[in-house]
Amino acid sequence: MARADGLLTHEIDPTDRKPQDQCGVFGIWAPGEDVAKLVYFGLYALQHRGQESAGIATSNGEQILVYRDMGLVSQVFDERDLETLPGHLAIGHTRYSTTGSPMWENAQPTLGPTPWGTVALAHNGNLTNFEELEAMADARRPAHDHVVRTHTKKTGRTRPYRDSTNDTSLVTELFASAEGKDLTEAALEMFPKLVGAFSFVFMDETTLYAARDPHGVRPLALGRLEHGWVVASETAALDIVGASFVREVEPGELIAIDEDGLRSYRFAEPKPARCVFEYVYLARPDSVINGKLVHASRAEMGRVLAREHPVEADMVMATPESGTPAAVGYAEESGIPFGQGLMKNAYVGRTFIQPSQTLRQQGIRLKLNPLKENIAGKRIVVVDDSIVRGNTQRALVRMLREAGAKEIHIRISSPPVKWPCFYGIDFATRAELIANGLTTDEICQSLGADSLGYISVDGMIAATTQEPKELCTACFTGTYPITVPSDAATALERSC
Ligand code: SF4
């Protein structure tokens, strides 16, 4: 039930957590505005993309200051911290770390020197050619051999000291040795060498930059303030700071913003492979990705699910809260009334008091309570967006049966998750994924449900209204649009 800091998480069962976006990024260039506060609220809107650490870097045109720490945005910053971050441009980052690496050194933005000034960098995604890039950094290093070398326990190799183990600090280091007359040229030289998923926001003392990989795997949106510009992982973060949506940062595009205005550069031809899971679960429902409101996609997934897996029942309910749009869609299409069967304690993940052992044993009951009058004697359809290990759904089925449900039919608005993600989403390992090795009937039996139905891959894609060939569906199909690293396990540990 607890986070790395021992406090409660929002997840119904943290040992069976949903696929988790590993970072949210935000950037702003707005003279005359309190940019640190705007980044703070932007990160607040992106908190679902990372809850382990948060950081903000600001610049007044001459000097960059960074403040970062472990914890939620609201735990890391208070009013006084934000007052120590003056300036007119800023970037921010909220990070979820993979198991075993929730450490301060991996918090972002990272900071590093370059021949053109200091660079602060924040990253959402995962680079799949880390070894190659590390070798490139090694080869380029003689010109920068002031860098301290250390021996890494993991690989047994001697490598330069960087203050963190993720790929973001490697990119920061590569900036220092890239060729070009300024940071823009250095970025245009370096980005074509990066493989994998990256949505970057970065800055030097005077200029805000944003860049997105040629596949546009992770989202990145551009917004306009009256006197400035904003970039953010999701459009919902633009809304919250009062910025109007302009367009997405295009796959393969680098944007630079400073007192001369906005300049756009292309470092690669776009080959879109947007993450379909952003539509299923990861992004906020009030965000728009490539012209499609995420909430509308989820409701449509529910309608498709009702057509693909109909059932006679008395009530449709959602697994709180991410299953709600699909459950409403299922109810609309099937004509079965939508109802509430479970109440979620909305504030439980925000308490700063550690749960006692007795409370931990309460399991998901600490977070969910069944509405017995709505459930008893009824045939119930429970709609959820995905099944990872199955522990959550098993506990829910048990809870609903104890509350008197007559039948329980589980419907899932994504296909079975069978493959890991190398592009910035943390899944359970392949061996832990319940759909990897069991048939749908066997999974149904394991959950203790009366029936189980998953939406088809085609049905899910159709609900997003995106071109099928422009979506990544690898975790469902095993077809990866970008080269998968040879050392997969190590690559997953470095994600951000
Ligand atoms: S494998 Fe592709 S679809 Fe699945 S989470 Fe990763 S990027 Fe998204």
- pLDDT tens-place string over residues 208-223: 999 999 999 999 999 9
| CB of 286 closer than 8 Å to CB of 430 | no
Predicted confidence (pLDDT) at residue 383 exceeds the cutoff of 60: yes
Structure tokens at 402: 């104890």
Q: How far apart are CA 282 and CA 427, in angstroms?
A: 12
Q: Pairing relation of β-strands 471-472 and 274-275?
A: parallel
Residue 23 is a catalytic residue: yes
- Highest mean pLDDT out of 46-60, 113-127, 290-304: 290-304
Q: Is 275 annotated as a binding residue?
A: yes
Pocket mutation for ligand 1, best pick of 213, 276, 464 (most atoms within 8 Å of C-beta): 276
- Claim: this prediction has a pTM higher than 0.85: yes
Ligand 1 proximal residues by C-beta, below 6 Å: 19, 217, 275-277, 421, 423, 425, 472-475
According to DSSP, residue 278 is labeled I
Helix (H) or strand (E) holding 373: helix 372-375
Count how many Cα atoms sit within 13 Å of the Cα of residue 199 in the half-sphere of its side chain.
Answer: 32
Count how many Cα atoms sit within 13 Å of the Cα of residue 305 in the half-sphere of its side chain.
Answer: 35
Q: How far apart are CA 319 and CA 302, in angstroms?
A: 13
| CB of 479 closer than 8 Å to CB of 276 | no
All structural domains of the chain: 14-273 (3.60.20.10), 293-473 (3.40.50.2020)
Q: How far apart are CA 251 and CA 264, in angstroms?
A: 12
**Distance from the alpha carbon of residue 424 to the mean position of ligand 1, in angstroms:** 8
Residue 412, C-beta contacts closer than 8 angstroms, at least 6 positions apart: 305, 383, 384, 385, 386, 387, 452, 453, 454, 455
Q: Is 444 annotated as a binding residue?
A: no
Q: How far apart are CA 451 and CA 79, in angstroms?
A: 51
Nearest CA to ligand 1 atom 8: 275
Burial (CB count within 10 angstroms: exposed 0-12, middle 13-18, buried 19+), residue 226: exposed
Of residues 140 and 290, the one with the higher pLDDT is: 290
| Chain mean pLDDT for the chain | 86
Q: What pLDDT is attached to residue 50?
A: 87
Angle at 12 between CA 11 and CA 18, to 5 degrees: 55
Structure tokens at 336: 């079965």
Q: What pLDDT is attached to residue 100?
A: 39
Closest CA to 240 of 255, 230, 250, 228: 230
**Distance from the alpha carbon of residue 55 to the mean position of ligand 1, in angstroms:** 26
| CB of 305 closer than 8 Å to CB of 453 | yes
**Distance from the alpha carbon of residue 278 to the mean position of ligand 1, in angstroms:** 8
pLDDT in tens, 179-195: 888 999 999 999 999 99
Can you tell me which atom of ligand 1 is nearest the CA of 197?
7
> Residue 7: what are its φ and ψ, rounded to 5°?
-90, 170
Residue 322, C-beta contacts closer than 8 angstroms, at least 6 positions apart: 18, 281, 384, 385
Which segment of 82-96, 322-336, 340-354, 364-378 scores lowest on mean pLDDT? 340-354
Can you tell me which atom of ligand 1 is nearest the CA of 473?
3
List the alpha helices (DSSP H) in 178-281: 183-190, 235-240, 276-277
Helix (H) or strand (E) holding 357: helix 357-361
pLDDT in tens, 249-282: 999 999 999 999 999 999 999 999 999 999 999 9
Q: Which of 1, 7, 12, 23 is catalytic?
A: 23
Helix (H) or strand (E) holding 42: helix 35-45
SS3 category, 17: coil
Which residues on neighbouring strands pair with residue 222, listed in sequence order? Answer: 231, 247
Q: Is 167 annotated as a binding residue?
A: no
Q: How far apart are CA 203 and CA 117, in angstroms?
A: 10
